[in-house]
């Protein structure tokens, strides 16, 4: 039931606020075939042109949703604050995962009768870095 509510609300918002459903060029590159992916992505990102309509579209939709105009300086403040917050959150998530993920080497230190070798290759100690890289 909650899924149906979210799906219905999302559909209503898309129709009401004009959220784009068509995949843009970057979406097509990211979801496309694997051949020359890096070249196509790099060329797109290197030669991208930020058109005012593309940038203003979401700004206008947000202004209509909020009920008043949001100045460009306020947008810049929100984006920089949001970027800092996202980086901080991502860093905390990585730290939490590192602390909570128990590798074979850590398990062997906790339980001395356990084997500390990697579960995949069974050749070297299963440290965090070996397990992920």
Quickly state the pLDDT bin for 86 (edges 50, 70, 90).
Answer: low
Mean pLDDT across 95-102: 73
Q: Tell me the residue range of the domain where 12 lies.
A: 1-51
Question: Which residue, 105, 131, 107, 129, is CA-closest to 117?
Answer: 105
71 part of a folded domain = no
The model's confidence at residue 113, banded by pLDDT at 50, 70 and 90, is very high
First to last CA, the chain: 41
Q: Is residue 63 part of a domain?
A: no
pLDDT score of 44 = 79
**Is residue 79 a part of any domain in this protein?**
no
pLDDT in tens, 63-85: 777 777 878 788 778 777 766 66
How many domains is the chain built from?
Answer: 1
């Amino acid at each position: 039931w909650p899924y149906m509510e979210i799906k219905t609300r999302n559909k209503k918002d898309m129709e009401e606020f004009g959220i784009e459903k068509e995949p843009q060029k970057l979406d097509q590159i990211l979801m496309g075939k694997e051949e020359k992916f890096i070249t196509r992505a790099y060329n797109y990102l290197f030669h991208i042109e930020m058109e005012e309509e593309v940038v203003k579209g979401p700004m206008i939709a947000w202004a209509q949703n909020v009920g008043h105009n949001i100045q460009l300086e306020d947008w810049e403040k929100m984006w920089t604050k949001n970027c800092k917050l996202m980086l901080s959150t991502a860093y905390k998530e990585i730290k939490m995962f590192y602390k909570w993920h128990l590798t074979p080497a850590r398990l062997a230190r906790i339980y001395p009768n356990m084997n500390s070798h990697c579960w995949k290759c069974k050749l070297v100690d299963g440290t965090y870095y070996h397990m992920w890289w």
